[in-house]
Amino acid sequence: MLLLSLRFESAELRLALRHTPLAQVISDAAPFAASVHTWGQTLMFDCPIPFIPPVAETSKVVQPGDIAFWVDGSSIVIGYGPTPLSFHNEIRLAHPAVIWADALDDVTLLQDVAAGSRVEVSVVENSLLKNAAGQ
């Protein structure tokens, strides 16, 4: 399983990548850093990929732990609670997005990440995975 690490000043989030062309292109772009933007209980940041592979399905509503990508904006989007467009407690994004990874950590930790802060995205090495699993 391929993992990415998102390191913020106040939190770290590990992502398990889905087996999709988009997830592969994003992981190939790592390591990179970006500035965080917030909107409601959602944060987003630019992702420097050279092209966006075709995607089959997009949605504006995501679940906590879904790691999304705006194909029309080349941004990674992580919702951890309601946005200004949400009905009740859903997480409704401003634009349709495709889910390309799943958070392994609690995404509500992101509530302390401030707009304008920096995120560093990197691939988690296989040897670190084995150590974490006690192998």
What secondary structure does DSSP assign to 123-134, as a single string? Answer: EEPHHHHHHHTT
pTM: predicted TM-score of the whole model, two decimal places: 0.89
- Containing 3, the helix (H) or strand (E) segment is strand 3-7
% pLDDT > 90, the chain: 79
Spatial neighbors of 57 by CB under 8 A, at least 6 apart, are: 98
Under 8 Å between Cβ of 13 and 105? yes
The string of pLDDT tens digits covering residues 38-52 is: 999 999 999 999 888
Distance CA 30, CA 4 (A): 8
- Containing 98, the helix (H) or strand (E) segment is strand 91-103
**What is residue 55's predicted lDDT score, i.e. its pLDDT?**
86
For all residues of the chain together, what is the average pLDDT? Answer: 90
**What is residue 22's predicted lDDT score, i.e. its pLDDT?**
95
| Range of weakest confidence among 27-31, 61-65, 84-88, 125-129 | 125-129
Distance CA 88, CA 28 (A): 37
- For residues 88-114, give the mean pLDDT: 95
Distance CA 9, CA 20 (A): 29
Class of CATH domain 3-132: mainly beta
Domain locations along the chain: 3-132
Q: How far lies 28's CA from each of 8, 48, 116, in Å?
A: 20, 10, 25
Q: What does the angle CA 38 – CA 123 – CA 43 come to, to the nearest 5 degrees? A: 5
